[in-house]
Amino acid sequence: MEKQFVVGVDVGGQTSKIGVVNARGEVLARSVIRTDTYGKDAAAYMSALADAIRACVEECGKTGEIRGVGVGAPNSNYYTGQISYATNIAWAADGIVEFSKILSENLGGVAVSLTNDANAAAMGEMAYGAARGMKNFIMITLGTGVGSGIVIDGKVVYGHDGNAGELGHTCAVRYNGRPCGCGKTGCLETYCSAMGVARSAREALELSDEPSLLRGVEEISSKTVYEAAVEGDALARRIFEYTGTMLGRSFADFVAFSAPEAIVLFGGLAKAREFFYDAMVNAMNENLMRQWKGKVKIVFSQLKESDAAILGASALAWEL
């Protein structure tokens, strides 16, 4: 009989979230361990992760019934199962960790599939969420950065080396663009991420004397800009409209590449949709070629936020 349960693992810089998931996308048991307490000792972390997975599986009574483990992690490669030079994870910052191989060995041979967090989010939406039934869509995660996962004909696009889909590092501003951590300038991420929104706010405050609730705020973040927008602050609302316009223009380019049925948005910044949605849709349709105008949907994730990362990672395991 085919095994009916999988495990999803979301590896973050501080914590790793674990969940046992059934085919309906229900999380039957959850666990969390620290990612950041093992220093450079990858082996110790992998052993602790395997122990936590076994405990989670035992908690819901599914020992021996797990089909596989899906993992979403930064700087990971679907083809090789490796995490490499992940700057926010000490045990993977300086080299390559054979993540899938080591975890599988620690779990007694259970199959493990690994991909980056944005691709995992795309798999989760296709299996359980807003993209269920879709074969062609683009997943955009709006968080600290801008991540993306591209699905064509029902398959995530990984490219020849496993690193395809870095749409956050496509050029949104050609000249005098903001410097990006990737080494380029003008990347979409520098404008439409949480950090990008905060930077837009700081620049707007420096360039004008317009009254704003943001003046005097000790540390401006996307959250403080959102709170000001909710209070009706005109400058804060224009910042989100600008962000939406930048997203929409880039989305028009993305559509020209893969002709998706929809673009699915997820992440903390998506909570501010009421302030950037119209500008985003208008900018996209204004810049689309005629055959796509008004035809590409922009939808938001339907996954419960607390479970989204686990569900996204778990979706990988159904392919094992």
Structural domains of the chain, with CATH = 5-123+306-317 (3.30.420.40), 133-301 (3.30.420.40)
Rounded to an integer, what distance in angstroms lies between the CA atom of residue 271 and that of residue 54?
35
pLDDT at position 305 is 77
pLDDT at position 196 is 97
Burial of 231: CB neighbours in 10 Å, binned 0-12, 13-18, 19+: exposed
Q: Summarize pLDDT for 187-202 with one digit per residue, the tens.
A: 999 999 999 999 999 9
pLDDT at position 53 is 98
Compute how many other C-beta atoms are within 10 angstroms of the C-beta atom of residue 253: 16
pLDDT at position 1 is 59
Rounded to an integer, what distance in angstroms lies between the CA atom of residue 21 and that of residue 29?
8
Write out the two tokens for 79: 């083809």
Q: Summarize pLDDT for 110-166 with one digit per residue, the tens.
A: 999 999 988 999 999 999 999 999 999 999 999 888 999 999 999 999 999 988 999
Tell me the residue length of the chain.
Answer: 320
Low-confidence residues of the chain, pLDDT below 70?
1
pTM for this prediction? 0.89
Q: What are phi and psi of 264, to 5 degrees?
A: -105, 130
